[in-house]
A and B are shown apart, each in its own frame.
Chain A
Amino acid sequence: MELILSLGIGVLTGSGVWLLLRPRTFQVIVGLSLLSYAVNLFIFSTGGLRTGAAPILEGGRAGTLAMHADPVPQALVLTAIVIGFATTALFLVLLLAARGLTGTDHVDGKESGR
């Protein structure tokens, strides 16, 4: 499980960084989205990975972190998802505005002289 999660985060981050460095605005926004998925998974993993642990409390026993999953990273990841979604939407609007104003989807607003 650790291996799958770390591979997933790694592949998402790698693809995200590569796309972020591409010259087209659409590639940049997809890259940022992939990166934010990777970061969200990463935040989730900081609580420690556990299979089959109770979400908050298990019946009949006193709650300690040894028995249930850490709820704080889950709360953090929820906030991060919401904020990431909002900022991505905002970036998308700007991307369309730039496309309309400059007539190109290059990040610098003009085609590089090839």
Chain B
Amino acid sequence: MSGWMDHLTIAPIVLPLLAGAVMMLIDERQRTLKAAIGMASALALLGLAVLALTVADAGAAGVRVYRLGSWPANFGIVLVLDRFAALMLVLTGILGVAALTFSLPRWQKAGAHFHPLFQFQLMGLNGAFLTGDLFNLFVFFEIMLAASYGLALHGSGLARVRAGLHYIAINLSASLLFLIGVSMIYGISGTLNMADLAGRVADLAAEDRGLLEAGAAILGLAFLIKAGMWPLGFWLPNTYSTLGSASAAIVSVLSKVGIYAVLRLWLLVFGDGAGESGGFGGMVLLVGGLLTVGFGSIAVLATQNTARLAGAIVLVSSGTLLAAIGAGRMSVTGGALFYLTSSVLAVAGFFLLIELVERGRGVGADVLAVTREAFGEGDDEDADDGGAGVAIPATMAILGIGFLSSALLLAGLPPLSGFLAKFAILSPLLAAGPEVAVTTWILLAALVLSGLATVVAMTRAGIDAFWASPAAEVPRVRVAEIAPVLLLLALNLALTVQAGPAMRYMEDTARSLHAPQDYTGAVLSGLPVAGGVR
């Protein structure tokens, strides 16, 4: 192992930080240069993430610990690269490249500082996935959120500012809950390191246990607000529907960060090794997840606006994941991870597709035109031709195929990976034994019905967009805009074809999450692994 490879763990954080910082120094008019730096950084991040995935997939030796300043784990901050973190890094990398490519023809011009914000968003996401320290997680959450506030408001406009106000107020309150939770956990256990905490939970005195669980519950509340669990997720469809689509594609992964944190911390701290606290709160996740699926399905059916439909679909996928995690079984968690991968890619693709489809109908284009006017960009170019790049032929056919595939993926219909993911969640639950629990049947019904609701709503939206408004002109779509959508769909197709190897990886990940000895062992071993003399 070369010395440089040791720094692989911190590279996904440092690289976008440097790229973003350099861009801040460059004049706002040098947009091409900024776009080039941003694109280079995003591509490099994807490369690093894939490399991290191969490194992490090496079994027990795959857990890489990076000790900042070479302090032992319980004194210093550690970054940990394992299978789960690597998977999320790859997803972030893919979405980063896709959303940035999409933004190049138009969205980057809709306001100031798009590119630096985008890099800081990537930095916050990568940091949140890599860190092994609770308070450091808070810091990366704030970086991620601060960047997402900027991206949420990118392009300005009345609707965006109004929804952004709610989004920021809710997330600031959630951050305060996060702090209360973290400090309670520190006050009781005396550590902020996740792996160290996992080891201490089992030995807690009986009178302290209640306080620790209360702290964990408050902390969980902060994560569940991000994930959008009912009744904490009413802000989500509203905010997501007003986001610009390039921002929405990357910000949509934020709800999955909440899921990531729940899955990571819950299984680590309240897993099998937690003594009396084992499985604490599992029922809340299961029931809350089911309620979220129910609420999301109703929202899916009720919305008329395609962008709000996408927001409602995010709620359904969050609910499905929470319910599957709440089941607390290793085999189900594997399916949930597969579902997570598939739905992150599909939802991001759908957010990008919406704007292209809506453009022909004038709604999204109006907003964009107004904002471009506000920033004085609209004068030098024809209003219909707002950007560079080559337009594609047979636009409606390609958009239609994209929409259809998205519908299949999001509703979980065969033959695409959405169906495989739902199957992977349900099959181990049903095969668990002769007695199938009531909650399993409810979960089965919820998954099937939410799929039905999605099909109905997507069909309606599709008819509306493609058939019912023939008067609308064919949107002018550039290659750089359709390519990311097709890339995300192709990745989902690849996930379908290569479901075997992908599922093997997910199952290994689930196994190491449910039995985190490798993780805790690697973090707590006193040997300096990186950043020091070897």
Binary contact track B178-214/A, C-beta < 8 Å → 1, others 0: 0110111011000010000000000000000000000
Q: Is the CB–CB distance between B135 and A108 below 8 Å?
A: no
- Asked whether A76 and B183 contact (CB < 8 A) given A35-B176, A94-B165, the answer is yes
Decide if B166 is an interface residue (CB 8 Å cutoff). Answer: yes
Whether B165 and A39, one on each chain, are in contact in the complex, defined by CB atoms closer than 8 angstroms, is no
B146:A87 contact, CB within 8 angstroms: yes
Q: Is the beta-carbon distance between A76 and B135 smaller than 8 angstroms?
A: yes
Shortest CB–CB separation between residue A71 and chain B, in angstroms? 11
A94 touches B135 (CB 8 A): no
**Known contacts A35-B176, A42-B183, A46-B187; A90 and B168 CB within 8 A of each other:** yes
Bound CA–CA A63/B168 (angstroms):
43
Chain A min CB distance to B243 (Å): 15
Q: Mark A27-65, 1 if CB is under 8 A from B, else 0.
A: 010001001100100110011000000000000000000
Q: Is the CB of B179 within 8 A of A91?
A: no
Residues of A within 8 A of B161 (CB): 94, 97-98, 101-102, 109
Q: Which of B122-143 contact A (CB under 8 A)?
A: 135, 139, 142
Q: What is the minimal beta-carbon distance from A64 to any residue of chain B, in angstroms? A: 13
Q: 30 A-B contacts, Cβ less than 8 Å apart? A: A32-B169, A35-B173, A39-B176, A39-B180, A39-B183, A42-B180, A46-B186, A46-B187, A72-B186, A73-B187, A76-B135, A76-B182, A76-B183, A76-B186, A79-B139, A84-B175, A87-B145, A90-B146, A90-B149, A91-B169, A94-B161, A94-B164, A97-B153, A98-B165, A102-B158, A102-B161, A102-B162, A107-B166, A109-B158, A109-B162
Q: B172 within 8 Å of A by Cβ?
A: yes
Asked if A5 lies at the interface with its beta carbon under 8 angstroms from chain B, I say: no
A107 B142 Cβ-Cβ under 8 A: no
Cβ–Cβ < 8 Å partners of B165 in chain A: 25, 94-95, 98, 107, 109
A98 to B158, CA, bound (A): 8
Instruction: Output the least CB separation between B374 and chain A (Å).
Output: 11
**Residue pair A91, B158 in contact (C-beta under 8 Å):** no
In the complex, chain B residues whose CB is within 8 Å of the CB of A88? 172
Closest A residue to B142 by CB, please name it. Answer: A83
CB distance from B97 to the nearest CB of A (A): 28
Interfacial chain B residues near A86, Cβ < 8 Å: 146
Q: Is the CB of A98 within 8 A of B183?
A: no
Decide yes or no whether A20 CB sits under 8 A from chain B.
Answer: yes
- Chain B residues positioned under 8 Å from A102 (CB to CB): 158, 161-162
Do A46 and B168 have beta carbons less than 8 Å apart? Answer: no
Interface residues on A, range: 20 to 34
Shortest distance from the beta carbon of B171 to any chain A beta carbon, whole Å: 8
Task: Give complex CA distance A39, B179 in Å.
Answer: 7
Q: What sequence of 0s and 1s flags, for each residue 1-35 of chain A, a beta carbon within 8 Å of any chain B beta carbon?
A: 00000000000000000001000010010001001
B173 surroundings in chain A (CB, below 8 A): 20, 32, 35
For A108, the chain B residues whose CB sits under 8 A away are: 162
Smallest CB-CB separation from A20: which chain B residue?
A: B173
CB neighbours (8 Å) of A67 from chain B are none
**New contact pairs (20) apart from A42-B180, A42-B183, A90-B168, CB-CB < 8 Å:** A25-B165, A32-B176, A43-B179, A46-B183, A46-B186, A76-B183, A79-B139, A83-B139, A83-B142, A84-B175, A87-B145, A87-B172, A87-B175, A88-B172, A91-B172, A94-B149, A98-B165, A107-B169, A109-B158, A109-B162
Give A73-105 as 1s and 0s: 1 = Cβ < 8 Å from B's Cβ atoms. Answer: 100100110011011101100110110011000
Q: Which residues of B contact A90 (CB under 8 A)?
A: 146, 149, 168
- CB neighbours (8 Å) of A79 from chain B are 135, 139
State A32–B169 Cα separation when bound (angstroms).
8
Give the chain A neighbours of B172 by CB distance below 8 A. Answer: 32, 87-88, 91
Q: How far is the CA of A95 from the CA of B166 in the complex (A)?
A: 10
- Residues of chain A within 8 A (CB-CB) of B164 are 94
**B180 proximity list for chain A (CB < 8 A):** 39, 42
For the complex, give the distance between the alpha carbons of A107 and B162 in Å.
Answer: 8
Give chain A residues whose Cβ lies under 8 Å from the Cβ of B183: 39, 42-43, 46, 73, 76
CA distance A49 to B491 in the complex (A): 55
Contact, CB under 8 Å: B186 / A91: no
Closest B residue by C-beta to A36: B176
Closest to B153 in A: A94
Q: How far is the CB of B516 from chain A (nearest CB, A)?
A: 24
Q: State in angstroms the CA–CA spacing of A46 and B164 once bound together.
A: 33
| Closest CB in chain B relative to A35 CB, distance in Å | 5
Q: Which residue of A lies closest to B187 (CB)?
A: A46
Q: Which residues of A contact B142 (CB under 8 A)?
A: 83, 87
Smallest beta-carbon distance A65→chain B, Å:
9
What B residues does A73 contact at CB under 8 A?
183, 186-187
Q: For window 217-276 of chain B, which residues contact chain A by CB distance below 8 Å?
A: none
Residues of chain A within 8 A of B186, CB atoms compared: 46, 72-73, 76
Nearest A residue (CB) for B166: A107
Alpha-carbon gap, A23 to B158, bound state (A) = 18
- B429-455 interface mask toward A, CB cutoff 8 Å, 1 = contact, 0 = none? 000000000000000000000000000
Quick one: CB contact mask for B150-172 with A, threshold 8 Å, 1 for yes? 00010010100110111011001
Q: How far is the CA of A35 from the CA of B156 in the complex (A)?
A: 28
Closest B residue by C-beta to A33: B172
Question: How far apart are B69's CB and chain A's nearest CB, in angstroms?
Answer: 14
**How many Å lie between the Cα of A36 and that of B156 in the bound state?**
28
Expressed in whole angstroms, the Cα–Cα distance for A20 and B182 within the complex equals 22
Shortest distance between the CB of A29 and any CB in chain B (Å): 9
Q: Measured between alpha carbons, how far is A86 from B172 in the docked complex, in Å?
A: 11
Q: Tell me the complex Cα distance, A108–B235, Å.
A: 12
A80 closest partner in B (C-beta): B179
Question: A84 — which chain B residues lie within 8 A by C-beta?
Answer: 175
A83→B146 CA distance, assembly (Å): 10
